[in-house]
A = this chain, B = another copy of it.
Amino acid sequence: MNIGEIAKRSGVARSTVSYALSGKRPVSETTRRRIQAVIDELGYQPNASAKALKEGRTRTIGLVIPPAGRRLTDMQLSFVASVVDAAARADLDVLLSPSGGEHDRSFERVVGGRRVDGVILMEIRLEDDRVTRLRRSGLPFVGIGRTDRPDEMSWVDLDYETLIARCVHHLADLGHRHVALVNRPGELLAAGYGPAHRARAGFSRAVAERGMEGVQACCADDARAGVSCVGRLLADHPGLTAVATINEAAMPGMYRAIERAGLSVPGDFSIAGVAGRHWAENLHPPLTAADVPADELGAHAVDLLVRRIADPAAAHHRLLVAPPVSLRGTTGPARPRPSADRG
């Protein structure tokens, strides 16, 4: 079913069908209705490829997500969901590209083949080849996250530095003197993943400001790693009474390790973190955490991208959010650990 067929059956010219659909030239009501009747009958829809080829835009955006194999965290999934929803509201389709590096085939197809009008990039590193590649390509893009040159691109991001600092201050206010940061995986930190670095910085700063003792640990993104990571922290630091963390996926394991050590939360040990609201609420007990507004962030990213597509030369926009810490069930006054002789 193509436009020529519709024209033939309606007894009009191809161009008339096109104009009837686009309204870019007046078409009499009678012919318009006749054409529409045929279209409805045959269920015609213009070929998206032909349209894209002619118009030079695809009405599709690319969403670059962390690559295969690695399991996405709840927060990342929330971003994906919110981007897809926001795009659908703007009548944009979303093409997913699970790509980590610049030379990923999927990434190259999406960026190089003009399959999309713009790209939303997730899990950005401080230095990121994909950002370089996208800038070189001239394709509009928006980061969920940012590089170490934040003024050179549009982005939305969480202020992990502030958030972790707030967690530490909250714990300090409760009397905790010895806290740990459970960070994202060491590979990510080594690869220059921004949130991991910024969480570090915020933690170090806050700990110094409050004259506390702080330890940092990296932890893989899963429950098992959370168990061993916190298990080790508890064993190595008898004075430790609290943990701050940005590692969502490890949280269930962290709870387990604390329980296995014979400690209760929040009676003997406190946890504060950064997580999506649902995730924090589903933990048991519910986690005191800065609630990440993934929905708004994703929607905002789409919004920025749509604007950038409309005017690629416009100034860059940024949005850095630092949601407040919601007090739930996992932080309480510091109490020396039962088996801790020193600390």
Contacts and interface: CB of A to CB of B under 8 A. Distances in A.
Interface string A87-115: 01101011111100000011011101111
A225 B68 CA distance: 33
A30 interface: no
A237 to B, nearest CB: 24
B98 A96 contact: no
A60 B95 contact: yes
Contacts of A65: 84
A114 B47 contact: yes
Contacts of A88: 68, 97-98, 105-106
Given A68-B88, A72-B81, A255-B284, A49 B45 contact: no
Contacts of A284: 252, 255-256, 284
* Number of this chain's copies in the complex: 2
Interface residues on A, range: 35 or more
Contacts of A98: 84-85, 88
Contact of A108 (B45, B58, B80, B94): B45
A93 B71 contact: no
A43 interface: yes
A68 B80 CA distance: 12
Given A53-B47, A68-B88, A93 B96 contact: yes
A49 B51 CA distance: 9
Given A50-B53, A106-B88, A255-B284, A45 B113 contact: yes
A181 to B, nearest CB: 21
A338 interface: no
Contact of A47 (B43, B47, B113): B113
A74 to B, nearest CB: 8
A247 to B, nearest CB: 13
A282 interface: yes
A223 interface: yes
Nearest to A77: B77
A77 B252 CA distance: 19
* Residue of A48, A50, A252 ringed by the most chain B CB atoms within 10 A: A48
A68 B85 contact: yes
B106 A85 contact: no
A223 B281 contact: yes
A109 B114 CA distance: 19
Given A45-B109, A51-B113, A91-B105, 9 more contacts: A47-B114, A49-B58, A68-B84, A91-B109, A93-B97, A93-B110, A94-B96, A95-B96, A255-B284
Interface of A: 43, 45-53, 58, 60, 65, 68-69, 71-72, 77, 80-81, 84-85, 88-89, 91, 93-98, 105-106, 108-110, 112-115, 222-223, 252, 255-256, 278, 281-284
